Amino acid sequence: MSALDDHLKKHRQKIINREENTFREMLSAYQEIENELADSYDDLQQKIKDAQAKGEEISPSWFYREKRLKRLLAQVTEQISRFGSKAAKIIKREQRAAIDIAISQAAETYNLLVETDDDAPGFVSMNPRTVETAVGMMGDGSPILEYFQQQLAPMVAERIKSEVIKAAAIGTDFNKIAKRLQETGDITKHRALSVARTEVNRVRRETTRMVYEENNDIIEGWEWVASKSLRTCPLCLAMDGKQFKLDEPFPQHINCRCTMISVIIGLPRRKRTIGKEWFESQTDETKSKILGKETFAAYNDHGLTLDDFVAFKNDKRFGKSVTRKPLAKILADKGIDPNGKTPKQPAQPKQPKAEKTKPAKIAIPEFKNVKDAQKWIEAKYPNIQFDFSQTKLETIVPTIKEFVRLSEAFPEVNNRLQYFGTYRDKTKKFHTKNGYKFRGEIAHASVDGKRIGLNPNIYNKPEAMQKALTRAKDSNFLVSDKIESPFTHEFGHQVEHWLQSVQNHSLTDIQSNSDKFAFKQVLDKFYNVFHKDLTYKSPENYKDWKVRNDALIKDVSRYGVSKKAELWAESFSAITHRPESKRAQLLERFLNEIKTIKLNPAPKEFRNASEAERKKAEKDLANILKKFDFLDEFN
């Protein structure tokens, strides 16, 4: 066992030990609820016996008439909600402990990975209390508490109601039904333990990702790490070893115990056995136990891979998660009949092409004050939190108009955005104690695509802001002096962040193992062309570099040559505010072509494709790449 494997094993055992203690505490809390529920069931049984002794018929109408069932269900709902409050407090405490463990483990793993590199840069840790709000800690009104109160309690009550009414309708002995009522109530216990494990591990992993993101000058991503055993599910074995961007959260599943390690810039990947390799080395008996007999048979007969079982779903409460694709769906996607026959696909009649219609332009009303402006935009874009505290109409109205225009042009960016404002409103999720923290900047965009911030010290002084932008434009430091131009620039950053988040997608329905058809190929090619004038490698090429650099400053701005990302954002701003710029024209043409391409987030394996599918994929790819011939011309 390698030092890395040994370290991860010890870390996993620490998590398991703490989890077992948590479960014992939650089961103890549930015991009180369970006893109260048992008393309620006993009371109901006694009432039934008394009624039967009087000669009354115990039917569904008897329950409704006597209001016995209504009172029982109210008790069940109240008790489960009370247990939810206790469980939430326990989970919150364990989440706080998970943050401390994650911060420590992230640093330890990093040091282990770079121990052979004498020039390894330093690792910056994070304050645990700073992390708590950002990772979605438990609290009143949290998704978990809402889950107990609004979903779990009503669901259990409905099942109990169903069992009682069914028993009454068919005349079942209520001595026998009591056990089934108890089992129905136990759903609460099992769900609570699953939620505890899942949510504590979610916070631990999100903390780890945030620590890595804080060190983005030395860490470029994270890698999925799963344990390898009979208890490990096929999804985790398939995901083990896959690498992700720093702004991509861990797409966990219920009861997932997997962890993550950093992908360090400039260091080769540490060799270790990943899940798919481990699975292939196992006996058929072991594989069958992991997949199940029927699924393992199909796995062998049809050449399936573990990746075929992986699918993703999004939950409004708990975010993106990985889920197991049903075998029938896998076979159907591959055109395979369960009996081994490949069905012929019926010819589809050609549909007439629908005429493309441009979306209606959104009319923006006149606003009396900033509150009216915020109220209007909140109604238009309910997926985003807005906070225009300490801004003025003269600065926020042009910014809103630009936001609406760009959001309609790039809905994918708008869908990723969660917050837009000054961080001043304490009721908002992204509020910070000291408000906007980038004091010297007009605005900023977060690399995860979730936030665009406005500096209230600038947006509340229209005249001073306009003078500052005019000076910046006159000195060619910025592309434009329009009030809305800083937002255009930041939105440009979010367009690039969106493209980065999908760069491993495929341009065709089939993707080869060599990533021949990956969208990344096109994106990298564009970056190489677009940023080429920023290269300055040695004093010998200084003169040549300065000529190109000065030309780039003239074409875009001085701020645009400070960093590659700023060149992109300034060029994006120039599309609107200085359209004669060559860089703006190139970027606009590139983005327009990108919008016409369908990106496939989960392409099939190229090696499993038929010859006809391969040829079609290659033809589709050739047609798509023709769209980007202009990059060669520019180069």
DSSP string, 138-174: --TT-HHHHIIIIIIHHHHHHHHHHHHHHHHHHT--H
Does residue 139 register a pLDDT over 50?
A: no
Residue 257 lies in a domain: yes
Bridge partners for 323 per DSSP: 311
pLDDT category of residue 425 using cuts at 50, 70 and 90: low
Residue 483 lies in a domain: no
Q: In terms of domains, do 433 and 507 share one?
A: no
Residue 554 lies in a domain: yes
Residue 137, pLDDT score: 46
Q: Which of 407, 441, 461 is the last residue of a domain?
A: 461
Q: In terms of domains, do 25 and 159 share one?
A: yes
Which three-class secondary structure string do you get for 275-301?
HHHHHHCCCHHHHHHHHCHHHHHHHHH
Residue 520 lies in a domain: yes
Q: Return the structure tokens found at 92.
A: 């919150």
Segment 198-202 mean pLDDT: 76
Q: Return the structure tokens found at 64.
A: 């409704």
Q: In terms of domains, do 47 and 125 share one?
A: yes
Q: Which domain holds residue 14?
A: 3-215
Q: In terms of domains, do 333 and 386 share one?
A: no
Residue 43, pLDDT score: 76
* pLDDT 10s digits, 296-339: 988 888 888 899 999 888 766 556 788 888 888 888 888 877 65
Does residue 134 register a pLDDT over 60?
A: no
Q: In terms of domains, do 563 and 539 share one?
A: yes
* pLDDT 10s digits, 32-57: 767 776 777 777 777 777 877 887 77
Residue 609 lies in a domain: yes
Q: In terms of domains, do 211 and 228 share one?
A: no
Q: In terms of domains, do 313 and 422 share one?
A: no
Q: In terms of domains, do 60 and 199 share one?
A: yes
- When mean pLDDT is compared across 43-47, 371-375, 528-532, 616-620, the lowest value belongs to 43-47
Residue 132, pLDDT score: 56
Residue 346 lies in a domain: no
pTM over 0.75: no
Q: In terms of domains, do 52 and 189 share one?
A: yes
Does residue 67 register a pLDDT over 70?
A: no
Q: In terms of domains, do 174 and 240 share one?
A: no
Segment 180-185 mean pLDDT: 61
pLDDT category of residue 141 using cuts at 50, 70 and 90: very low
Does residue 120 register a pLDDT over 80?
A: no
Produce one character per residue of 431-451: b if its CB has 16 or more CB atoms within 10 Å, e if not: beeebbeeeeebbbbbbbbbb
Q: Which of 163, 183, 215 is the last residue of a domain?
A: 215
Higher per-residue confidence, 523 vs 144: 523
Q: Which of 215, 230, 255 is the last residue of a domain?
A: 215
Residue 374, pLDDT score: 93
Residue 433 lies in a domain: yes
Domains in the chain, number: 4
Residue 477 lies in a domain: no
* pLDDT 10s digits, 514-535: 555 678 778 888 888 888 766 5
Q: In terms of domains, do 332 and 392 share one?
A: no
Q: In terms of domains, do 253 and 325 share one?
A: yes
